[in-house]
């Protein structure tokens, strides 16, 4: 597999039905958990149902997934605006920008394991166990945790649930443009019940839907989700996969 791969289907190697058996626990666990809003200030062109317009806009730097709560001050002009903004907490800033600058909220995420504060600036922190720590939400998911720890990882880093709201497009974005997936960094994306209508966009602006329930895909390409009639969740587990598993699946692997 080249470093410019698009999508690797993992359904033949991962038994997602074991995660589906955790559905009741997951729903209750998400309800109990502290969540973080997924919020953007850039125009929500996805809602205009013009895919070509979306891709034309999102192929530039505006598509980079950003930290709205940190970068939102760029959209504030007066000292009074900035004073209000700077008095707010991280999550409060997101809510403020939704009301004041029409930032949109396409969902939320639930931290199960997350980057340690003192490692947040490391480019590949989310893929390293030593740079991540289990979140206070984790005990809400005991059965799910057993499944996560059974996955073919040599090392597990960040673990997140992504929750998407019904009848709402997920922001089309890319995560990074560096050579991240050189064999030292991997993740497994899990879409139980196949309810999330997820896709990637290649360099020719062609949309590729992920039809499998488990996959490793290249976040250097634009990706997002179509609206669903149901509220949906997906699970992403970062880290480094086992060398033998990578050989079986054709995924690049090299020692760290």
User: Which positions ≥6 away from 219 have C-beta within 8 Å?
Assistant: 174, 175, 176, 180
Separation CA 14–CA 26 (nearest Å): 19
Yes or no: say if 214 and 189 are a contact pair by the CB < 8 Å rule: yes
Written as tens digits, the pLDDT of the chain (256 aa) is: 556 789 999 999 999 999 999 999 999 999 999 998 776 655 556 555 667 777 776 666 555 544 444 555 667 889 999 899 889 987 888 888 878 877 777 789 999 999 999 998 998 999 999 999 999 999 999 999 999 999 999 999 999 999 998 887 777 777 877 778 899 999 999 999 999 999 998 888 888 999 999 999 998 888 888 888 889 999 999 999 999 999 999 999 999 9
The helix (run of H) or strand (run of E) holding residue 19 is: helix 17-20
Tokens of 184: 């030292």
The CATH architecture one would assign to domain 7-37+105-249 is Sandwich (2.60)
> Any idea of the CA torsion for 96, 55, 184, 149, to the nearest 10 degrees?
60
Tokens of 44: 């929500």
| Domains of the chain by residue range | 7-37+105-249
Yes or no: say if 39 and 105 are a contact pair by the CB < 8 Å rule: yes
């Amino acid at each position: 597999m080249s470093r410019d791969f698009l999508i690797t289907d993992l359904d033949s190697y991962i038994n997602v039905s074991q995660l589906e058996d955790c559905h009741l626990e997951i729903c209750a666990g998400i309800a109990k958990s502290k969540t973080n809003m997924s919020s953007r200030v850039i125009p929500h062109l996805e809602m205009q149902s013009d895919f070509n317009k979306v891709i034309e806009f999102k192929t530039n730097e505006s598509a980079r997934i950003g930290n709205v709560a940190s970068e939102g001050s760029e959209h504030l002009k007066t000292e009074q605006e900035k004073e209000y903004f700077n008095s707010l907490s991280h999550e409060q800033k997101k809510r403020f920008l939704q009301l004041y600058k029409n930032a949109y909220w396409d969902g939320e995420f639930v931290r199960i394991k997350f980057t340690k504060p003192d490692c947040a600036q490391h480019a590949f922190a989310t893929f390293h166990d030593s740079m991540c720590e289990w979140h206070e939400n984790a005990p809400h998911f005991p059965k799910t945790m057993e499944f996560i720890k059974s996955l073919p990882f040599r090392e597990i880093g960040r673990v997140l649930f992504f929750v998407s709201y019904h009848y709402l497009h997920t922001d089309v974005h890319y995560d990074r443009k560096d050579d991240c997936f050189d064999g030292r960094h991997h993740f497994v994306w899990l879409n139980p019940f196949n309810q999330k209508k997820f896709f990637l966009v290649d360099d020719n602006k062609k949309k590729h839907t992920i039809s499998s329930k488990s996959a490793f895909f290249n976040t250097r390409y634009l990706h997002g989700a179509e609206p669903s009639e149901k509220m949906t969740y997906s699970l992403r587990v970062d880290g480094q996969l086992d060398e033998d598993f990578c050989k079986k699946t054709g995924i690049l692997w090299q020692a760290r």
